[in-house]
Amino acid sequence: MAKESRGQRVEVRCIACCSLFKARTADLYRGWARSCSKACAARIREVKARKPEKYARMKRNFEDYIADAIILGEIDVKKKV
């Protein structure tokens, strides 16, 4: 029996390798869903430490991708007030 995953999932693009992966929307709102694997997360940390200008470019591309997904309705933005 497979365990049910918690929370709604959406497809997002990894900022390190540009592959698509499914991430929880809650993690996306927290800013955690940036990489598809631990290896890509390590690559992002290395780029962030050694080449801040390249990391800024990667982050900007990711934020543009998320903004486009919200506009197109692929990500549901229901925030509790």
* Ramachandran bin of 18, using left for φ above 0, alpha for ψ from -120 to 50, beta for the remaining angles: left
CA distances from 20 to 34, 36, 45, 64, 72 (A): 11, 8, 19, 15, 17
Residue 78 lies in a domain: no
- Quote the domain boundaries for residue 54: 9-71
Residue count of the chain? 81
Residue 29 lies in a domain: yes
Residue 77 lies in a domain: no
Residue 4 lies in a domain: no
The tens digit of pLDDT for each residue in 7-59 reads: 888 888 888 888 899 999 888 888 888 899 999 999 888 888 888 888 888 88
By mean pLDDT, which of 30-34, 40-44, 60-64, 73-77 is the weakest? 73-77
Number of domains in the chain: 1
Residue 26 lies in a domain: yes
Q: So what's the pLDDT on residue 64? A: 83
Label residue 65 exposed, middle or buried (CB < 10 Å: 0-12, 13-18, 19+). Answer: middle
Q: So what's the pLDDT on residue 42? A: 92
Residue 63 lies in a domain: yes
Residue 62 lies in a domain: yes
